Chains A and B, each alone.
Chain A
Amino acid sequence: MKGFIENVGIDCLTATVAKNRISMVERCKDSIPPKRLARLSKGVGISYLSYADPKICTSDLCVEAAERLFSNGEKKEEIGAVIFITQSPDYLVPATSYVIQHRLGLGTDILAFDINLGCSGFTYGIYIAATLLQNIEKKVLLLAGDVVGKCHPAKSLTFLPLIGDGGSAAIISRRSPELSRKIFYDIASYGDKYQCIIAPRGGAREEKTRDEHGEILPEPENYTIMDGMEVTNFSEYETVDSMRSVLDVGGLSTDGVEIAVCHQANLMLVSTLAKKLGLPSEKVPFASGEIGNTDSASIPVCISELARRGEWKPYRHALLCGFGVGMSVASLLMDMSDTHVLPTGEV
């Protein structure tokens, strides 16, 4: 599906990661031989990973990010909806968005719900927030992220070298029609590829296997597993098609793109996307080398890291692309020249 939504924009956004960082090499040294580890480190472009204390949940990082937005002038009474996008909720029941509503002290005249999505979550969420704003006069608080570093078994090589913990917060609101603001979108879902990234056990379909003491067995199916080749394949083709499509819908040539913030999967992938799009690497930043791939928080993390380094500019033609679990891809082309970006925070 593709099209545009009028008179909506992102007021402000930021991301929060763990103060605690662990070296990728240190984390994987017991499970990957040194030579392979060196190749891996070079390829993924990640040297440190944000690794939250075991007591910290995704919601804690998102709440910290949101509180900074409110300290910076946003008003809690203006929020009419809170959306929490994660694969690591506080509880299975109820949805964590209600817990967050309470913690932030938001009013009761509010819509709250969770969305189960990973790497495409932020751009998906902006689209959903923008559609809600056709009907809600107040603003939408969008929170997205994951704390999953502790959820993978010690020897899981698929994720351990890549995954960092992060949460983000953004406030989306209406714009005056005189500004003629449009968010162009291209969203596609590929349910036939649902097994590419999957946690097979622990839901209603299949239970996790445990030993006689009730401890979860270290079998891959008890955790999230990924078919790296299929996911790479998907990311290098369907994702690029989606970004080209959104540029087409927006009537913008590739040269007109001022910045393309892609999901920060890893350096190799982001570089390939830049090459395929025909954009110089400076316009397709990878700014997660000291944080890791933070799932649905990774686009805000990239933006807030650029802000922290003083490199974020008021871009009028920003291309954002989230892609991953589902499989799913959501690309947006939007004006971010009036989006206030706060530098990355830490918990």
Chain B
Amino acid sequence: MTEQEFIKKMVDIMDTEDEITMDTALEEIEEWDSLSHVGFLSLCASTAKTKVNAAEVRKAETMRNLYELLTRE
């Protein structure tokens, strides 16, 4: 998944109207809430090569951190 595709997916999951880039801090996105956390975990479960844990998602600070979790080998 490219960075662009990832951002599009995340905007869908969060249903946010904010301008999102790879460097956006998650705490600045109002819609990065428990519902989005679960949505992101489901995205990982169906597309990531490795298991992404809840604790790892909680630790993520930026969109890039999430992308790294999703795409790690």
From residue A233, how far is it (CB to closest CB) to chain B in Å? 5
| A35–B16 CA distance with the chains assembled, in angstroms | 10
| A276–B51 CA distance with the chains assembled, in angstroms | 12
Nearest residue, chain B, Cβ from A158? B34
| A158–B69 CA distance with the chains assembled, in angstroms | 25
- In the complex, identify which listed stretch (A36-44, A248-256, A312-320) lies at the interface while the others stay far away: A36-44
| A35–B33 CA distance with the chains assembled, in angstroms | 13
Residues of A whose CB lies within 8 Å of any CB of B are 35-36, 39-40, 43, 227-230, 232-233, 236-237, 268-269, 271-272, 275-276
Q: Is A272's CB under 8 angstroms from B15's CB?
A: no
Determine if B72 is an interface residue (Cβ-Cβ < 8 Å).
Answer: no
| A228–B42 CA distance with the chains assembled, in angstroms | 12
Interface string of B1-33 (1 = CB under 8 A from A): 000000000000001000000000000000101
Number of A-B contacts (CB under 8 A): 46
Q: Is A228's CB under 8 angstroms from B53's CB?
A: no
Nearest residue, chain B, Cβ from A240? B45
| A227–B58 CA distance with the chains assembled, in angstroms | 12
The B contact surface, by secondary structure, is helix
Q: Interface residues of B, CB < 8 Å — how many?
A: 17
Q: Is A237's CB under 8 angstroms from B46's CB?
A: no
The A contact surface, by secondary structure, is helix
- Measured between beta carbons, the chain A residues less than 8 angstroms from B34 are 228-229
- Measured between beta carbons, the chain A residues less than 8 angstroms from B41 are 229, 232-233, 236
Q: Is B54's CB under 8 angstroms from A230's CB?
A: yes
| A230–B58 CA distance with the chains assembled, in angstroms | 11
**Given A229-B58, A230-B54, A233-B53, A272:B42 Cβ within 8 A:** yes
Nearest residue, chain B, Cβ from A266? B38
| A43–B54 CA distance with the chains assembled, in angstroms | 19
Determine if B64 is an interface residue (Cβ-Cβ < 8 Å).
Answer: no
- Measured between beta carbons, the chain B residues less than 8 angstroms from A36 are 31, 33, 35
Nearest residue, chain B, Cβ from A161? B35
Q: Is B46's CB under 8 angstroms from A272's CB?
A: yes
Of A35, A228, A237, the residue contacting B38 (CB under 8 A) is A228
Nearest residue, chain A, Cβ from B58? A229
Nearest residue, chain A, Cβ from B51? A237
| A271–B33 CA distance with the chains assembled, in angstroms | 21
Q: Is A229's CB under 8 angstroms from B54's CB?
A: yes
- Measured between beta carbons, the chain A residues less than 8 angstroms from B54 are 227, 229-230, 232-233
Nearest residue, chain B, Cβ from A275? B46
**Given A36-B33, A230-B54, A233-B53, A276:B46 Cβ within 8 A:** yes
| A35–B46 CA distance with the chains assembled, in angstroms | 26
